[in-house]
Structure formats: structure tokens, C-alpha cells
Amino acid sequence: MASRVLRAVALTAVLPALSSLGVPSIAQLAALGPAAAAANGGGAPGVLALPSGIVWAYNGAQVMRSRDAGVSWHEVLPTWPQSPTALQVMGAFFLDREDAWAFTEHQWPAPPGVTTVWRTTDGGRSWQKGTSLPGAALSSYGSVLGQLAFADTAHGYGFGVADSGELGYQGALWATSDGGSAWQRVSASGLPWGTGAPSLYNGNCPGQVGFSLNAAPAGVLLLSAACPRRVPGRWRSADGGRVWGPAQLPAPPAGWAAAEAWADSPRSLAGAEVMGTRFFHDGQGVAAVSTRPGSLLVYRSTDSGISWRLASHLETGSLSRPSGFSASSPASWELPAPAGLYVTSDGGQHWRLQRSGLSLPNMAEASFASGRTGIGLSTTINGSSGLRTVDGGRSWQPVSLPAPGAGTPEPAFSTVDFADRLDGWVGGADGVEASTNGGESWARQLATAAPVEQLSFADADHGWALTADQLFATSDGGRHWAVVQGTAMGAFSWAQLVTPGFGVALVCGTGGTRALASSNEGRSWHLLALPRPNGAPCGRGDPLPGPLYGLCFGTPASGWAIALGRGSAATVLERTDDGGRHWSPVASLWGAISALACQGTGQAWLGFVWMANNTLLGDLAGTLDGGASWRIGKFGPSPFNTPRLAPSARRPRT
């Protein structure tokens, strides 16, 4: 576990109150384990950037603040150590440059599960302790208080679960009118929660409270379902949370039925998802909704959420649902996407794409102080990290915060492809780097938020890079990259650029694995027939389950496929010479296939792996004549016969 040192924190108003609880001195502070990041309401995300250069952030274990637009950070409210007491920072809300709130859970010596809200009015230099929330007790679902939402410096609300005695754990709403010093339980009549905490949690969103709370002046509250639903669930209160009624959003032109599942993995979520809502002065509000991968709907209100109208519909071409939407004003919005940063300054009438060498799909928390300066954060078990821009998204600089816990980072690079003896590329968690001297030196070309899973170059200029969220293409050796348009059938799980214009890909969808081909560098795709159609649902953990094991094309006409034979444990190698319209078996295979590679019209190589005496052994089989004959080279000693390639009785056309 990585340790952290507390830097320049003055808790002058906190220390007397904490001393009575036996909290250690600042010199004794050390890092705690990872804490789950709590949701933030009221339109203030886990990061809030202000035009003055002040930035607040909560990274899952502590509250951070920057005075120079995110260049440097200091801790202003850390999580306290496990011994002799535990005081864990579970969430925060940021209102302006000086006013912020955070809530903690005491584990010892205070009664288990006591939740306390803290307030600062001087930018985190000192914190005042409020009273513990009445009627709150620790639940098995984690933090009692899920989020805070403040309309101004006096009026705020807390939302979560509470122990209701014989009724069990129920949804709970607390309110304060004195800035968080005292809290009262609010009846919240008309909200869709019932007896039992599971009603507050959505099974498709494990570990997350299923609602998001927003506060506007004059006691207006808005509660939104935080997970996808057939119709977005939203409720509104105009009396500080005592009585609630439905607050529906108008359906888009195609109706809410257009909301669809994206069959990329078992975590696929179907339906419309309220990404976030933010209220501004004079009753103006903005709400962002996602209905499918790459699709963003933005609604506007001018009457504090009584009525809403659809203001904008943006299609980004991404293979994942949008995230990180930020409204820096009622008319200025920003959306990170794999292709760059989408921005609008006229309420969504016109969007422009600020391209950079960076993929931005995982920026789940973002805040823009203006159209030029912004911060985006992503919190994982390895810590909170992100990016900052001061030129409207044309360029980005890394942002690093102290980690809330320790984890095992992914390898920097995990895939490699050389187009010739000198020109090569590596890809992985750090993006793409290139070499023009046979690997003696490397230079960064593309930064991606998701790791690069595969590289495929047709020559020294034309190549593809595949991540879990998007497929990127270059036509100048990687100096510039562009996003390849996705498909409606599923997410790419494998892609190969065969020639500068022709490529093939495998798509993982609800109907199983499908093969696609493109003759125009990925601008459009058509189905490619497979020798053994695969109808089994698939996911990225096992991208090719079922009959299809592998695919490779040496030319636009000549391709190879490995499929499961019918009625046998053997696999079958098939070949096509007409672009996939017809396939013919070439050989029967025994043994697990670890790799398939091909070149030209008749050259192919197969990698075998198998276990013998608890030892993993491997061989390589190759053909230069379209499968008529094979040469097998042994890489290690084996007491058994090499896995066999039995020539098929039928040969493909040559």
C-alpha cells in the first residue's frame, strides 16, 4: 500500500472537536485503504473547476484543492488512519471557491456507522463539524449517506439509506438550513423507494445508489434514476423534499423505445440513462441523457425543472455510452469522446470537435470553468488521474492526484506490430508509441484513456489501433489518428487492416460473433460470411467463444478461419479465395490454437499450445502452398506427438 504524506493542511476548527475522539496528530497521519467514491449531486461532480483557477476534487479518500487550474494539488481534508480511530471521508460537494462540504463515517471509538457532515468556508483551510445525521446507522450496503446537494451556502440536502427499525433500511432524505450544522429528517412523500435498501440499488449498477439528487434555489429538488431505464425516471419537489411528483422528460423523435442495449460485455446496460443535471441562476437547468452508445441528448429548462425541452442531439460515433458531460453555463457544454472534445456555446445548436492526440472516453467526471479551461478525472483502485486543458481541448496535460489506495497497474504495452524491418509500433495502457529504427528508440504517438488491445498495420503508413471503446486509424505512420466509425451490430473485438483500403473485423453483439469487411478504410462495413456462424453471445473476457476461434486475411480475397468441427473435438481450418463468399476445409486440427497469422494468397501460420506433465508446450505449423503441405517446427521437448494437422479430403479452389 502506497503511503501518503499530508501537505500544508490547517484543520484549526476541526482539531478541538477531533481531539475529543482521540484523533491522532497531523504528524501521525498515514494512508488508508481504498474507499469507494460516492456520487455527487446538484450538478457539482467529483471535480469542480472555477474561472479563477480554483479546482476542487474528491478522489475517493480525500478532498483536494488546486489554486493553479490543476497544475498542483494539496490535500485539505484527508481520510484519517485506521488506528487508534477511523474517520473515513466518503464524499464531498463543492459550491464555489470557498464553500465546500464533505461527509465522513466514524468507525471507532464513535458508534459504528455514525455519519457526520463537515463544512469549510475558507477554501479548506479549516473545517467545522456539524451534528451527526439523526436516525442513521451503518447498512450492509456501504455508506449511509450517498451524496450531498446544496442550493446555496445555507440550504442543503443529504440522500442515502437509514435504519428504520422493524421496517429495515429505507431511502432517507435529510435537510439543513444553517449550512450543515444541524440536520433534520425529511418525510419525502411520493418518492419511489419502499421498505428495504435493495429498492435503492439497481442490479445493473453494482455498488452505486440508484438515484442522483440535485438542488436548486427556493427549495426545488430533482431526483433522477442514475441507471438506465426504459423511460428516464425523474421526480421533483418544490417544498424542500417533503412532497414529490414525477418530472418527465419529453421523448426524443424516435421515442424512448430507441434506447438499446450495447452488447459489448455482460455489463451491458439497456435503456435511457440520466448522465447528470445541473441548475443555474434564474431557474435555468441542463440535463444530459444517454440512450445508446455514442448518443447524447441534452434537455433544457427555464423554470427550475417544471418543464423541459429537447435542445440538442449529438452522435459521437463512439462504441461506448457518453460520460463526463459538463455544463459550464446554460448554453456552454462539453463532452469528452474518443475523437476529442465536443463543445457547444449556443445551447447545442452547433457542436464542434476539438481534436487532439488523445482519446477521452473514460473521463467520467469533468468540469469546465470556461470554453477553454477544464479538468477531467477518472478514479480507479490505482488512484485518481486525469487531464487538464487551457486551450479548449486542443491539447491536454496530465493531472495526478495522490492515490486513495494501491493496485497493480496494467503493463505499459501489450501488443506490437512491425510493418517492415524498421517501422514498428507498440500499444497498451500507455497508448501507442512508434519506432523508425527497428526498436532502438520510441516516440509517443497516441494517448488513449482505454488500453490499446491490438495494432494492425498494412504498411509503414496505414494502420489501425483498437481499444475497448474505439477503433483508431492512421494514414501517415501514426503522426495523426482518426476515429473509425462504429457499427450498430456491436463492439469491435478484433480488427485487421489487410491493405491500405481493405480491412476486416469481428464484432461482439447479442447475436454472437459476426465478421465485417470494409473496402474504404472503415467508413462503411458489410457482413462477411463465416464458415461456422457463431450464435453464442460474447464478451471481451472471451471475445471468440463458440464455433469461431480465429480469422485472418492475407489479401482482400484470400482468408483463413479456424472453427469448431461438427460432432468432433477437433477444430477445422477453412480457407476462402473469393473474399468470404465460399469457404472450404483445409485441415483438421488437434490441440489448442494460440495464434493465426497469414500473408498473401497461400501463406499461413498456426500456433499450438498444450499441457504435458504439467508443462505448457508449443509448436508452430506453417504452409506456403495454401494448405497442401505443412511444416511443423518444435519449440520445446515433448514426450508426446506434436498436435496433428490432418489434410482434408477437399481442397479449396486455387
Type of residue found at 561: A
Residue 26, SS3?
Answer: helix
Q: What's the Cα-to-Cα distance from 31 to each of 58, 65, 112, 166, rounded to whole Å?
A: 15, 18, 21, 38
Closest CA to 301 of 275, 318, 277, 317: 277
Low-confidence ranges of the chain (pLDDT < 50): 1-44, 138-143, 195-204, 206-208, 261-267, 404-409, 536-537, 539-547, 635-644, 648-654
Which pLDDT does position 654 carry in this prediction? 33
| 54, three cell numbers | 480554483
Contact 115, 105 (CB under 8 A): yes
Which pLDDT does position 138 carry in this prediction? 45
User: 175 has which bridge partners?
Assistant: 157, 184
Q: pLDDT digits over 456-477, tens only?
A: 999 999 999 988 767 889 999 9
Contact 308, 301 (CB under 8 A): yes
Q: What's the Cα-to-Cα distance from 7 to each of 47, 87, 121, 125, rounded to whole Å?
A: 20, 18, 20, 12
Q: pLDDT digits over 79-127, tens only?
A: 776 555 567 888 899 999 999 999 887 765 555 567 788 999 999 999 9
Domains and CATH numbers, the chain: 15-400 (2.120.10.10), 485-647 (no CATH)
Contacts by 267-272, CB closer than 8 A, 24 or more apart: 267/204, 269/204, 269/205, 269/227, 269/228, 269/321, 270/228, 271/228, 271/229, 271/230, 272/228, 272/229, 272/230, 272/231, 272/232
For 163, other C-beta atoms within 10 Å of its C-beta total: 17
The Cα 522–Cα 188 span in angstroms is 52
**Residue 314: which H helix or E strand, with range?**
strand 309-315
Which pLDDT does position 397 carry in this prediction? 78
How far, rounded to the nearest angstrom, does the alpha carbon of residue 153 sit from its chain's CA centroid?
Answer: 33
Type of residue found at 106: H
How far, rounded to the nearest angstrom, does the alpha carbon of residue 583 sit from its chain's CA centroid?
Answer: 39
**Residue 15: which H helix or E strand, with range?**
helix 15-19
Type of residue found at 144: V
| 159, three cell numbers | 440522500
Residue 282, SS3?
Answer: helix
Non-local CB neighbours of 153 within 8 Å, separated by 6+ positions: 95, 99, 121, 179
pTM higher than 0.85? no
